[in-house]
Structure 1
């Protein structure tokens, strides 16, 4: 239990420190105030994760690419993903900045109770094991499902989704007898808002691959449609 107190203290401290930069929350009435859930949000680089955590008044356990939780691997990942493309730093300067950022970011993400997800190593069994335990304890997962190698949708800034996490819905139902809500979340920088839509529920028919594919298509369509609708309220 001590580790949860530590995680919660850091999580709340970060939310307090970042409160001047929060967007406005919308759709909180759609969320059940108690119990396990999965929240699925658009990424928008670093903006999505930061704003969901700062803006929504819930304790999340985010899925994070495992390199970002490993002091040895994080500098290279941060260099390729952030320092070089965003800060335009290469060579010794880029390596130094990446190393310095990693020392802070790894400890911060680990202290928040993030769930490391390994890429390109087959099915992420350890992430699912930990996520299952968190859900059994009534915790809320935060997942950003966009495939970084997928095609970019210019209307929404989203890429195609990877939705293996829907398998947790079936496991949770088997564990508890209850259905697990999956909340679509849209970070919309143009209106400086974070919208939580009504939950989706995984429909189990016994065809696991087809069930996950169908749920994924429904989720992706819902989120992209909401983003486009929000744009229309601003631009007409």
Structure 2
């Protein structure tokens, strides 16, 4: 598959789905950064990878389990791909996860992804992320945690924010974090003003503040 498949699939999605527009709260400044977006089910990642203006230089974080066919069914079930209690739930439970397992891994591997691990291999994720930023490319991270059908917890995951520390050590620069609210009804990317990781402060001193600003931005508040 590879890049040609990704470009062909992206073109098809853009042709046969709604066009997205982008609103920037402040003009975009070139340079390494992280786009932090709301998930909107599968719609968020698909739109960011196929329709976002900077998509060709973006590296989305993707759970490694979604890249491994044997692990995909468990992820599909825990991420609420259908409404709990749906009359067709028994059928969906034994079909959709396995269809996804056959289709998703090869499709996702065609993207310039960075695999996300949830064990000691997380350092591989962070090192790959720093290498991407050193090329003046961008990361895409979806920090929300699903709580039900098309709903998410009020809090967002924050452990990934430590990449700000690593980036400062590697480059001597503060990392820019752009909150992106994906509005599926208005077919809009609303990009808020960047939030900066402050290298002069400890991670624990700014974790809650950064999380609050990012959560507000990705929810379009």
2:45 corresponding residue in structure 1: 49
The answer on 1:171 being equivalent to 2:166 is yes
CA apart distance, 1:37: 1.2
CA apart distance, 1:12: 2.6
1:31 corresponding residue in structure 2: 28
2:140 corresponding residue in structure 1: 142
Alignment of 1:67-86 (within 5 A): 67-81=65-79, 85=83
Gaps of 5+ in 1: 1-5, 229-236
The normalised TM-score by structure 1 is 0.77
Alignment of 1:193-232 (within 5 A): 193-224=188-219, 227-228=220-221
State whether residues 79 and 95 of structure 1, in contact with CA within 8 Å, keep that contact through their aligned partners in structure 2. no
1:90 corresponding residue in structure 2: 90
CA apart distance, 1:206: 4.0
Gaps of 5+ in 2: none
User: Equivalent residue of 2:195, what SS?
Assistant: coil
Q: Decide whether aligned partners of structure 1 residues 69 and 53 sit closer, same or farther in structure 2, where only a CA change above 3 A counts.
A: same
Q: Decide whether aligned partners of structure 1 residues 165 and 19 sit closer, same or farther in structure 2, where only a CA change above 3 A counts.
A: same
CA apart distance, 1:7: 4.6
CA apart distance, 1:80: 4.3
What's the C-alpha RMSD, in Å, of the aligned pairs?
2.8
1:14 corresponds, among 5, 9, 23, to 9
CA apart distance, 1:194: 1.0
1:115 corresponding residue in structure 2: 114
The normalised TM-score by structure 2 is 0.82
Q: Which has the larger share of helix?
A: 1
Give the total of aligned pairs: 214
Q: Which has the larger share of strand?
A: 2
Deviations 1:17-42 (A, max 9, x none): 1113232222286322x432100001
Deviations 1:181-210 (A, max 9, x none): 111101112322111122111112342222
User: Equivalent residue of 1:182, what SS?
Assistant: strand
Higher relative contact order (CA 8 A, sep 6+): 2
